[in-house]
Amino acid sequence: MENNNEFYTVRGYQLLKKNKKMLTSSMEDYLEMIYRNSLEEGYMRISTLSELLNVRPSSATKMVQRLAAIGLVDYKRYGIIFLTESGKEIGKFLLNRHNIVEKFLKTIGIAENLLKETELIEHNVSVNTLQNIYLLNKFFDANPDIISKFEDFKEKSNIENMFD
């Protein structure tokens, strides 16, 4: 799967694995959000971060200090967060992982609580599963007729019999 590397950045994943013991799901959320929002300006403000994550600025600051302690962000200037090189690579992986899971859920017809559902899966999915979901997404893109067949099939199916 060599040529898919840019989409999930293997190095980002390896770095994530190295930091796994230190990175909680919540820290992953922060890093993903900081990466997402640093794409344009190259930095993120604590105030914006706390707004977007619905937490108090003091909680955001604490979490950012934890990320700084393991070398993933630079937080020297008051209120402004910069990602380090490792932080960028892991952040990129986390954002791609999020997008791959979200796209898959959308494809199978999940609309309600899409973000929450993505959240529940993304922090626990293995890279092997993620790669295969990524390929399945690609396969669906290349074969849109399969999706309409699936939608028809869903309509005709009785989900009540799921466990019979």
- Residues forming contacts to Zn ion in the complex (CB under 5 A) are 32, 98
- Which residue, 114 or 146, is less far from Zn ion as judged by CB? 114
Which residue has its beta carbon closest to Zn ion? 98
- Which residue, 32 or 89, is less far from Zn ion as judged by CB? 32
Q: Can you say whether residue 9 is alpha, beta or left, with left for phi > 0 and alpha for psi between -120 and 50 degrees? A: left
Those residues whose C-beta lies under 8 Å from the C-beta of residue 128, and which sit 6 or more positions away, are none
CB of residue 144 vs Zn ion: minimum separation in angstroms? Answer: 26
Q: Can you say whether residue 71 is alpha, beta or left, with left for phi > 0 and alpha for psi between -120 and 50 degrees? A: left
- Which residue, 92 or 98, is less far from Zn ion as judged by CB? 98
Q: Look at the block and give the residue holding tokens 């989900």.
A: 159
CB of residue 57 vs Zn ion: minimum separation in angstroms? Answer: 21
Task: Provide the 3-class DSSP secondary structure of residue 162.
Answer: coil
- Which residue, 126 or 158, is less far from Zn ion as judged by CB? 126
CB of residue 2 vs Zn ion: minimum separation in angstroms? Answer: 26
CB of residue 119 vs Zn ion: minimum separation in angstroms? Answer: 6
- Which residue, 88 or 98, is less far from Zn ion as judged by CB? 98
CA–CA distance, 2 with 24 (Å, rounded to integer): 29
CA–CA distance, 34 with 72 (Å, rounded to integer): 11
Beta bridge partners of 81: 44
CB of residue 86 vs Zn ion: minimum separation in angstroms? Answer: 19
